[in-house]
Amino acid sequence: MTIVSDIEPAPLEDSVSEWLALNSDSRLDRWDVYARLREEAPIFDYGDQTFLSRHKDCVNILRDHKTYLSGFDPEGERVMAVMASLDPEKQRKYREVLDHQLRWLTSSNAEKHVALRSLATRVFSMRAIENMRERIQREVDERLDELEPRDSIEIISEFAYQLPLTIISEMLDIPIEVRESIHKSWQSMTQLIGNPPERVPEVIDTVHAGMAELESRLQHTFDTRRGQQTTDLLARLLDAENDESGIITDKDIMGIVAQMVIAGHQTTQDTIGNALLELFGDRDQWRAICEEPELIPNAVEEVLRLRSPGQMVNRISRTDTVIGEREIPAGTRLTCLLASANRDAAVFDDPDRFDIRRENARQHLAFSSGVHFCLGASLSRMELQIFLETFSRRFPDADLADSHVEWLPNNFLLGLKELHVRFR
């Protein structure tokens, strides 16, 4: 017998509001909201932004850098509203944090983006990434050797972030003794990214302190490495400070290195946890990758699709334009919900199902698309594939030690606070 509920769902705007507020007692999860947006209002105005939840709309916008600017407007309505809620000292700190974010590669556009992207692409070449394969394998083996004698571990804090942080830090010649500080600085900064604007007054002091510490550590690294023998990646970046065109400044180099370190470990860290959670939740698929490691590359793509570590990106329309049948005025803040697009039934059959054999899993937008496609995608994929191949081979009987999981309280990031894994 089919039971039909007579309880009307909350208005969509209320559900979106509750999702964005990150209320700990909310009965909603983001996937519910994404599904409703795709079905009821795939182009949805909310406050000063417009949410886009369909795959085709997100792809079209991400690949059209002439019509849509990346990043955010530092003089926009949202920023100005936050500024008005702050005292003068916190306004100064907020401005400095925004200035730092505006120097990230993902916030640059036009000539500046071309120059920075060209620089970064040369040092993140396929050859450079492939040359890291043996180093990544050795790092995975050594860390698992240390953990293997134990019955269980908390894999996020004891493995997942150290692997990618070590690799990107070695590529950038960042000293071992400052890496942990950089990680903690970024953890402080995430309180601003992907959280409601109303929280800015209470977190800005912590966020600013984290940013200042991050920049201080990186600047010290630059100063000690400049003119000395260092890695090819850092040498090229430091040489770019002397670019006679004046397009790239020392602050730009700080921004791009900061983002490389941040993005170079956060998304991989989160995906390691997300992958194990999904695979341990479906023992048939876990056994499949243990027995057929050739399935692992596609399994990684399916995890990225289903549990996208970066949930959304923002664009600003340069001119009046049209999306679908909707007219979009110039200056509109557009939020592409990548994680929603990755569960769009128009592209992915049975999109909420985890399937490591999904033929088109790689059509996901977890690494964005277009000119702002993630530079570190190949490195992240390699780290994830090597980890899963090694871990599944060494610990085929591994499972969750605790079925209760808690997600990071963040709208932008999708990662677990902790994941307790039993080896045997």
For the chain, what are the domain ranges? 29-422
Q: What is the pLDDT of residue 232?
A: 82
Q: Residue written as tokens 């088109």?
A: 360
Identify whether the C-beta of residue 109 lies closer than 8 Å to the C-beta of residue 133. no
Q: What is the pLDDT of residue 372?
A: 86
Residue 394 token pair: 């060494």
Q: What is the pLDDT of residue 57?
A: 98
Q: Residue written as tokens 């409601």?
A: 196
Per-residue pLDDT of the chain (424 residues; tens, 9 = 90+): 444 445 567 899 999 999 998 876 777 789 999 999 999 999 999 988 999 999 999 999 999 999 999 988 888 888 899 999 999 999 999 999 999 988 887 877 777 777 777 777 776 788 888 989 999 999 999 999 999 999 999 999 999 999 999 999 999 899 999 999 989 998 898 888 877 888 899 999 999 999 999 999 999 999 999 888 898 888 888 887 666 566 777 888 888 888 888 877 899 999 999 999 999 999 999 999 999 999 999 999 999 999 999 999 999 999 999 998 899 999 999 999 999 999 999 999 999 999 999 999 999 999 999 988 888 899 999 999 999 999 999 999 999 999 889 999 889 999 999 999 999 8
Residue 307 token pair: 């549990």
Q: What is the pLDDT of residue 76?
A: 81
Q: What is the pLDDT of residue 318?
A: 93
**Which residue(s) pair with 315 in the sheet?**
70, 334
Residue 173 token pair: 């010649």
Task: Enter the pTM of the model.
Answer: 0.92
Per residue, the 3-state secondary structure of the chain, as one string, reads CCCCCCCCCCCHHHHHHHHHHCCCCCCCCHHHHHHHHHHHCCEEEECCEEEECCHHHHHHHHCCCCCEEECCCCCCHHHHHHHHCCCHHHHHHHHHHHHHHHCCHHHCCHHHHHHHHHHHHHHCCHHHHHCCHHHHHHHHHHHHHHHCCCCEEEHHHHHHCHHHHHHHHHHCCCCHHHHHHHHHHHHHHCCCCCCCHHHHHHHHHHHHHHHHHHHHHHHHHHHHHCCCCCCHHHHHHHHHHHCCCCCCCHHHHHHHHHHHHHHHHHHHHHHHHHHHHHHHCCHHHHHHHHHCHHHHHHHHHHHHHHCCCECCEEEEECCCEEECCEEECCCCEEEECHHHHCCCCCCCCCCCCCCCCCCCHHHCCCCCCHHHCCCCHHHHHHHHHHHHHHHHHHCCCCEECCCCCCECCCCCECCECCCEEECC
Domain 29-422, second-level architecture: Orthogonal Bundle (1.10)
Q: Residue written as tokens 């886009």?
A: 52
Residue 237 token pair: 């970046």
Own/partner contacts of 295-299, CB < 8 Å, gap of 24 or more, are 295/356, 295/357, 296/385, 296/388, 296/389, 296/392, 297/381, 297/385, 298/356, 298/357, 298/358, 298/361, 298/362, 299/275, 299/356, 299/388
